[in-house]
Structure 1
Amino acid sequence: MQLRELAAFLNTELRLADIKDYPNAVNGLQVENLGEVSRVAVAVDACEYILRAAVEQGADLLIVHHGLFWSGLQPVTGALYRKLKIALEADLAVYSAHLPLDAHPTLGNNALLCDALGLPPEREPFLDLGWKASLKISREELSDRLARAVGGRVHVAPGGAGTIRSVGVVTGGAGGEVFKAAQAGVDAFVSGEGPHWSYTAAEECGIDLFYGGHYATETFGVKALGALLESRYGLPWQFIDHPTGL
């Protein structure tokens, strides 16, 4: 496959031009190669470990959620130099999709975590990027479902009554939006991580707050993109796991 064709398809599918993001997210093709793609690797973070692993696996396209340029304009030294050197010497292209991947209605981290939690398909937009749905469930059962979905520990701030009838989901680091979540009328707010004060804020707002981990809640979207490229173009793909525990 031609890299430019794949990148154009992803840009359109993820609506990069329509979804605002942090300026340094630099969504889309961040590093190009000589033009050919035969194997895809997907991962959450474009860190040095991931780039080396992608090269070792023979990938010529790496798709990530968190790209290379979060620090903005900077000298090409240190870790940035090493990462670019890895990619350029191995002819590895790097494509990044941050908030557009969070927000996608079927391929996005938020939608797929909702699916994994067993939320019904009748959902409403929630806090710009996420989704909310009605679901009668206990606090304990929702915590168990989240733990199974992310494959790890869940931290719960039990600020609500424990009987949940509506759930809002925003993956990643959205926990600081607990006040907005409460104002949106949900009984439970599921995210990846948040600030220290969000625990007591949940108590004071009267909602149950669930943290499944920033990394763990954002593995869904890149895996979905890998599967999509395989089904559409026949490209083999592999997820490279490098969990942070955060």
Structure 2
Amino acid sequence: MDIQRFITAMEQVAPPELAEDYDAGKIGLVVEGKDEIGTVCCALDATERVVEAAVRAGADMLVVHHTPLWSPITAVRGPMSHLLRTILAARMNLYVMHTNFDRAEGGVNDVLASKLGLFATERMTVGLVGDCSLDVTEIVRRLPGGGIRVYGEIETIRRLALVGGGGFDPDLIREAAALGAEAFLSAELKHSVARASPIPCLEATHYALEAPAMEALSSRMGWHYIPDPPHVVVVL
């Protein structure tokens, strides 16, 4: 497939206009390679391990959720030098679908809601609220890559709000509570936000909340999925 046809197809899956303003210049084709796309790999992050696996698989395109190029680069050294050298030497394209894929139909939040068995869902400004019958143990069982931290008292949750990625915004939590949510699931919770929240907060990892959507996208498109869970060491 020609690279422009591939980009057009991806923009239908996750329209760029759905992205948050801070994603300007950080989504779409962020590293340009070959003009013809045959083999496509997909992962959550463009880590060195993922990039090397994609090169071994003969990928012409690697689709990820998080760009490795968050800030303007003024020097290319260390891990970034190795990462870019590997991508460019293979002439592999790198395509990013971030907050536009979070919000898209069938994107991060939709896949997460399906994985947790939510129904009668309503869209928030960002994220979803849906009916369910879940306790914390069941949520942990259904999410990949470890447990969650709970702030507040929770038994069975009948209505859950969720936002893939770091979505613990006070305004969003209040919006979720107004829609009847009994708990709020996301990542990167600040202590001050947890203390002020009108409903219990469930803090998972980015990987647990977002990797399922990238795996589902890969399966849907017939791509090769590269799992790369973070290595977490618990010291007691």
Deviations 1:74-122 (A, max 9, x none): 333333332221111112110001101111121x1111111111111x2
Alignment correspondent of 2:53: 53
From 139, 159, 164, the equivalent of 1:166 is: 159
Matches within 5 A, 1:65-214: 65-106=65-106, 108-120=107-119, 122-126=120-124, 128-135=125-132, 137=133, 141-151=134-144, 152-159=146-153, 162-175=155-168, 177-178=169-170, 180-185=172-177, 186-202=181-197, 205=198, 207-214=199-206
Q: Secondary structure at the match of 2:135?
A: helix
Cα deviation code 1:8-44 (max 9, x no counterpart): 1101221113433414661101112221222222111
Is contact 1:166-1:187 (8 Å) kept?
yes
Q: Deviations over 1:195-215 (max 9, x none)?
A: 23333234xx2x121122122
Q: Gaps (5+ residues) in structure 2?
A: none
What count of residue pairs does the alignment treat as equivalent? 229
Which consecutive unaligned segments of at least 5 residues does structure 1 have? Answer: 231-235
Name the structure 1 match of 2:14: 14
Instruction: Give 1:170 shift.
Output: 0.2
For the 8 Å contact 2:45–2:65, the answer to whether it is kept is yes
Query: TM-score, normalised on structure 1?
Result: 0.83
Give the 3 Å change call, closer, same or farther, for CA 115–146 of structure 1 in structure 2.
same
User: Which residue identity does 2:228 align to in structure 1?
Assistant: D
Moved over 4 A (4+): none
Secondary structure at 2:221's aligned position in 1?
helix
RMSD: 2.3
**1:42 matched residue in structure 2:** 42
The 3 A distance-change label for structure 1 pair 45 and 24 is farther
User: Could you tell me how far apart the structure 1 residues matched to 2:5 and 2:191 are?
Assistant: 44
Query: Do 2:34 and 2:60's aligned partners in 1 also have CA atoms closer than 8 Å?
Result: no
Q: Distance in 1 between matches of 2:135 and 2:10?
A: 33
Is residue 157–residue 210 contact of structure 1 (8 Å, CA) maintained in 2? yes
Counterparts in 2 of 1:25 and 1:190: CA distance versus 1, 3 Å? farther
Q: Among the aligned pairs, what percent are the same residue?
A: 29
What is the DSSP-based 3-state SS (H/G/I as helix, E as strand, rest coil) of the residue aligned with 2:191? coil
